[in-house]
Chains A and B, each alone.
Chain A
Amino acid sequence: MRRFLSALIALGLIIILLEFLNLIPDFGNVDLSKRVSNSFINKSVDGNNETIEFKKSKDLEDGSANVVTSIVVNYRSFDTLGEVTVLFTAALGVGLILKGLRRKRFYREPNFILKTANGILLPLIFLFGAYIFIHGHLTPGGGFPGGTIIAAGILVLYLSNEKFELSHRAKILESGMGTVYVLFGLVGLILSGIFLRNFLPTGVIGELFSAGIVPLIYVAIGFKVGAELSNLISEFQKEGQQ
């Protein structure tokens, strides 16, 4: 009976949502010129009319070649600050909730292959993560995926080494990088009176040293997300211990 009723409700919801689909444009048939993102692509929010060319256009209002990054870290940077805060809240909350838990220890011998491969792969994993968030304004990726890759490296460390413990410095790194992000915003506020203003020159689009504060913020986010997710992993891992 319960299953039948839930199926009925779910079906009703599906029908209502399908009805809503008739009201929006078909898949793949979007008129971009009616959306604000058109200005994000052409970087013309402040009235630039020239066509943008890779490695040629310079001193644009926003210098990152990856348009998604330019939205995430520049046009809608405030959202990203909030997003970082949600992750921060969650990491803090997991720590608070799991505090004082009765801990058990599972004795398990890490796999030999995992142990050996870890020694070779771990530096590469960290390097790859760092590459991803340093090049966030040029290639797909950025601080969030980069940080996640670093945290995955930490997870491998936990799996391959039973005695591994995340240092308390990860918390300090997390807190420090969050502070750096807010301070970038406040520096913008002091220099130009606008919170989160990009106060550095944006350079030539497509170069590594371009886009002003965008790569700097993305590096901070990369470290922060890496430290946060590693902390989460360590909280959940500790759950199995005395």
Chain B
Amino acid sequence: MIYYISIILIGIGVYGLLSQKNLFKHLISLALIDTAINLFIVSTGYINGKEAPIYSEFTPIANFVDPLPQALVLTAIVIGVGVLALGAAMLIKIKEKYGTLNVEEIRRGDK
């Protein structure tokens, strides 16, 4: 089920990218795709009836889900944050340079 949700979210993100004219919505669509893929990665590590991969007083002996996807997702999230911050900074500059975030108006301004 989580697999389907994440794939539908990817589809929504791609739709948003292609159909919207506002650049800020493009950035949000990118964030949506990132999140959907992170969701997918975490869910590939889940195993029925197993626990979070931490040795503790409650789980002294290993009965764990796959920890590697969780580690990968941590990396992927941080990378996504970096890219989003860069994109937001560029949006501020676009707004300053062209006075708008609408793709069509920016293209007209370029010519």
Contact = CB atoms under 8 A, between A and B. Distances in A.
Chain B interface secondary structure, helix, strand, loop or mixed?
A: helix
Interface stretch (A28-36, A110-118, A119-127, A152-160): A28-36
Nearest to A37: B68
Interface in B1-35: 1-4, 7-8, 10-12, 14-15, 17-19
B53 A90 contact: no
A200 interface: no
Interface in B48-80: 48, 52-57, 59-62, 64, 66-68, 70-72, 74-75, 77-79
A14 B67 contact: no
A2 B103 CA distance: 14
Interface residues of B, number: 53
A27 B43 contact: yes
A97 B90 contact: yes
A66 B56 CA distance: 8
Contacts of B60: 53-56
Contact of A66 (B11, B15, B53, B86): B53
B61 A52 contact: yes
Contacts of B3: 21, 27
Contact of B74 (A2, A67, A68, A101): A68
Interface of B: 1-4, 7-8, 10-12, 14-15, 17-19, 43-48, 52-57, 59-62, 64, 66-68, 70-72, 74-75, 77-79, 81-83, 85-86, 88-90, 92-93, 96
A98 B89 CA distance: 6
Interface string A136-179: 00111010100000000000000000000000000000000000
Given A67-B54, A68-B71, A98-B93, 16 more contacts: A6-B18, A7-B15, A10-B15, A18-B4, A21-B7, A27-B46, A29-B47, A68-B67, A76-B71, A79-B75, A83-B78, A86-B79, A91-B85, A93-B86, A101-B92, A236-B89
